[in-house]
Every structure is written in C-alpha cells, then in structure tokens.
Structure 1
Amino acid sequence: MVDIHGEYKDSQLFHQARIDRRSADALSGLAAGMTADGSVNQKEAEFLQDWIAKNLVHLEDPVVNLLYRRLSDMLSDGVLDAEESAELLEMLHSFAGVSASKPKASDNPFTPSNLLPLDDPAPKLEWSGHLYIFTGMMAFGPRKDCEEVVINRGGAIAPSISKKLNYLVVGQIGNDQWLHSTYGTKIKKAVELRASGIPIAIISEKHWQASVFGIA
C-alpha cells in the first residue's frame, strides 16, 4: 500500500515506514509461496513484477530493486523461458531464505548469522585452470555473464561444490540476505570442505569484481 497522493501523510493511523516494512515482509512470503512447488511460471512472474511495481519499487532497497530489474528484463520479450525461470527460482529461494531441498519456509528455521564465512584475508585469484562457482544474486549481472568472464580468462565453472573447486563467489546483493537467513547449501558444503583441509576459497563478489577489473 502506498500513499501516492499524500492524502494520509499527517494521519496518526498511516505510517509509510511501517507499511513498507509489511510490504517487504509480504514479498518474502510471496517468494516462499511461489517457490514451494519447485518452479516459477510466467503468470507467477508477471504477478510478482506487477506486485513489486505497485508496492515496493519506490524503495531504495538494492535487493528488491535488483529483483524487480531482473524480472523486467526476463519479461521484456513477453516470454519467461526455462533458463530465466530457473534463475528466478534460485533468486526467490535466496530472497525467502529457503533452499531447493527444503522449499517450505517452515522447513528453514530462522538462524541469523553474524558474519559471512569469507576467507580473511581474501586470496589473490588465479584464473587459468581454476574452478569457480557462484551463489546468491550477483550485482555484476546474470550468473551466465559472470561465468563467461571466468571462462574468457581461462578458468572453468564447476558443476557443484566438490574437493576440486577453487573458488566459491558469494553474490554481493545476496550478502545482506545471508546475514538474516540460513546459509545456502553451497556455502555450507564449501565451509565443511574447507574445515576438513580442502583449500576452497570463499570470496565475496566485491573481491571477485576487483580482481576482474584489475584493482585487487
């Protein structure tokens, strides 16, 4: 709900910040509900785009704005194809704090963390012959674009988290979300392997981008 014409701005019963917070919470609930069956169809995507436009697009929230922008890009040709549907599903899982293996919000108890398990200090990145994998929402752009950057520099994309992986890159936009929800399964697996002595580096997208653009 948005007070478009400012009719209630002086009313004690109308508090825009409270309504915005409720709308953001509602968006998280919508995301969890839409992904519960393990897929997102075109009608659901169109509904979500319209809902955000009416309720939250005015907010200066990077996560909400990125989600809306990606939705608009996906639906710009009038068709949500299979690849876009899969990307949107993962984005909504991340936003709602649920996982593909446990798509119901009730299966994902709220366990806030204080810090991301990033390597500190962040390592110097190597490209040729090294395996990368991405998780979360990337500020750089769609995940396929991030993967293309790695491949063009001689690296490769790992199919999953394993002992062969060199770098797990955590999306910059997703960082704030990780702090308020359970870690994703990729991060959990990488942390377990790293703790067992496997030299997997968990890095932020910010560090990855700095290396891509030669400023790290």
Structure 2
Amino acid sequence: MTNFENPDLQVVTTKSRADKAINSLKGLLLGIISDDIIDAQEMEELRLWAKEHYDLVNRNPFREFMLLIENTVANGIPPKETVEDLYWLCQKYEHGSIYYNGITSDLQLLQGIFHGVLADGMLNDHEIFKLHEWLSENEHLSSYYPYDEIRSLVLSIVADKIIDDEERTILTAFIKQFVELKNSDTAAKIEKDTADVNISGICAVDPEIIFENKTFCITGILSRGNRSELQKAIQDKGGIAVNTISKKTDYLIIGDTNNACWSYSCYGRKVEKALDLRKSGHTIVLVHEFDVFDAI
C-alpha cells in the first residue's frame, strides 16, 4: 500500500484540504465584498471556486457552500446576501467547528432519539418521560434548535404528570419534522394521525400577519414563487420589504424549500439573528412563507 492509499493519511489530507479551501474561500469573500459591490464576474468566480472543490461536496460545510452558490441566480437571491451567508458559514466552521464539536454530536443524538421513539409509529408515556429526562440532563444545548422548542413543549406536557391524546399527537407532529422513517407504513400512519396538527418548528403557528407599515425580510428559497414577486405583493398590501434583518424588522419570512444551512445545528444567518433579537426583547415574528401567501 502506498502512503497515498493509506486511509488514515487520506483522512488527514482531506481535512487539511478542507481547511485550506475554507480559508481561501473566506479570503475570496472578503475581497469580493470589500467594495460593497458584487458583480456577475465575482459571482462567476465563486461558481468556479465551487467547481474546483466539488470533490469535497460530501464534507460539511461544502454542501451548504455549493447549494448557496448554485441557488443564487436561480431563485433571485441577492448576490450580497449569498456572500454574507457564505462568510457566516466560514466563521461557523472556524469558530468552534459547529459541524464537528460536541454540541453537534448531541444534537445528532437527539435526532436519533426522535427517530427511535417514532420507530413503532406511536409515542407512549414512558418514552415521553424518558425524553424529558434526557432533555433535563442536556441543558448545555439551550439556544440550539430544536432543543429549546422541544424542551418547552415536553415540559408543558409532563407538568401535570398526565399525558392526554391531544398532547401526544402534538408532540408526535413536532418530532416527525426531524425524522425520515424507512418504514413507509409507519410513516403513513404518523402522517394520518397528525394530519390536523399545524406545527411549523421555529415559525409561529397560525400567526396574525399585519402588512400595513410593517417591515418584512425574506430568507431561504421560496416554493411558491420568487422573492421579487413576494416583495411586490407585500408592498401592495402596505408593507415594507427589505433584504436585511434589523431591530426594525417585524416579520422574517422563511422559505419552505429545504435549505441546507438550516440543518439544526445551524439555523441560517438571518434566522439566527432574528432569534438573537427576540431574546434581546425585540418583537420579531418568524413566519412560514405559506402563511404569508395565504394572508395575501
């Protein structure tokens, strides 16, 4: 076996290449955004960077990088936003390695627990109390999605030590968002059992949306049209459409199409900022794109 064929050496080499690639990307992004103007040639250079490093696509966070770059033009996402998202991802990788640290491992473990408790198609009382016990023992996950949300829900359910069918169904509906069951019959049963439950994760459920003089920001990829169409519809209803989230933002609209940046160890730059603003006392509502389109 040659040195290059040695699996241990390949792992080290790939990690080294990944680190070097991310550092080069970070520098490229800083250079592109330095004049605060991003043109087609600069976006093409990013596309070529992605092409050159495509062999790393299966290594986090390169899949996210590739998707962001590919989706910019196709979905009408402003180039500046893409560059800012890419730089944010670079920083996440660099500071604490969000993809590889213990937090991520525990969040992945939580997802596995979700999978396990739904494997037979139903949640029993013992499973719910065990989930409550695990959540109580892992408070270091506080502020990471979906820990805060699932813990709040479970706490409200077990508070009286009695779990009724409605509570069980709501919890099942929430957990199923993070599970891809291999057994199609079990998955179909859960879908049927929770069909009448509206759970939108970090988004407000059945929100009241007021357009007049309210500020709206969009993140992610919309499944019902493009950003410019939705922004115009918001403006026609008396709302204000912006591209950057701030303390003045009233609503953050989250696109339905799956965005790799929202794997739940990493919300996405705008969603993370919105949650930080909420924790600081600012009133900002996270709404699903379907709710906005329905209100329009």
The TM-score normalised by the length of structure 1 is 0.54
Native 8 Å contact 2:218 2:252 kept in 1: yes
In structure 2, runs of 5+ residues without a counterpart are 99-142, 149-200
- 67 and 165 in structure 1: CA distance in 2 versus 1, 3 angstrom threshold: closer
- 126 and 63 in structure 1: CA distance in 2 versus 1, 3 angstrom threshold: same
Which of these residues, 43, 46, 49, is aligned with residue 47 of structure 2?
A: 49
**Which residue does the alignment assign to 2:221?**
139
Aligned partner of residue 96 in structure 1, secondary structure = helix
Note if 1:211 corresponds to 2:291: yes
In structure 1, runs of 5+ residues without a counterpart are 1-10, 75-82, 99-104
Native 8 Å contact 1:57 1:68 kept in 2: no
- 91 and 147 in structure 1: CA distance in 2 versus 1, 3 angstrom threshold: farther
CA distance in 2, matches of 1:210, 1:127: 15
**Which residue does the alignment assign to 1:78?**
none
Q: Give the structure, 1 or 2, with the largest relative contact order (CA under 8 Å, sep 6 or more).
A: 1
Native 8 Å contact 1:151 1:157 kept in 2: yes
Deviation sequence 1:35-85 (CA, Å, 0-9, x none)? 3243356554333312322332784776234223246659xxxxxxxx955
Native 8 Å contact 1:119 1:201 kept in 2: no
Alignment: residue pair count: 180
CA distance in 1, matches of 2:209, 2:269: 25
CA distance in 2, matches of 1:127, 1:154: 9
CA distance in 2, matches of 1:125, 1:23: 48
- 53 and 152 in structure 1: CA distance in 2 versus 1, 3 angstrom threshold: farther
**Which residue does the alignment assign to 2:170?**
none
Note if 1:179 corresponds to 2:209: no
Aligned partner of residue 169 in structure 1, secondary structure = strand
Paired letter, 1:139: I
Bigger share in helix: 2
Aligned partner of residue 144 in structure 2, secondary structure = coil
Deviation sequence 1:102-139 (CA, Å, 0-9, x none)? xxx9xx8438562268757535151532321235xx22
**Which residue does the alignment assign to 1:165?**
249
Shift of 1:191: 3.1
**Which residue does the alignment assign to 1:124?**
207
- 180 and 150 in structure 1: CA distance in 2 versus 1, 3 angstrom threshold: same
The equivalences for 1:1-216 within 5 A come to 11-13=5-7, 25-37=19-31, 38-39=33-34, 40=38, 44-56=42-54, 59=57, 63-70=64-71, 85-97=79-91, 109-110=95-96, 112=98, 114-115=144-145, 119=202, 122-129=205-212, 130-135=214-219, 138-140=220-222, 143-144=227-228, 146-152=230-236, 154-158=238-242, 160-162=245-247, 164-169=248-253, 173=259, 174-176=261-263, 179-180=265-266, 184=269, 187-188=272-273, 191-193=276-278, 195-196=280-281, 198-203=282-287, 208-212=288-292, 214=294
CA distance in 2, matches of 1:19, 1:169: 41
> If you compute each CA radius of gyration, which structure gives the higher value, 1 or 2?
2
Shift of 1:33: 1.1
Paired letter, 1:126: I
Aligned partner of residue 90 in structure 1, secondary structure = helix
Determine what percentage of the aligned residue pairs are the same residue: 16
CA distance in 1, matches of 2:73, 2:202: 34
Paired letter, 1:96: C
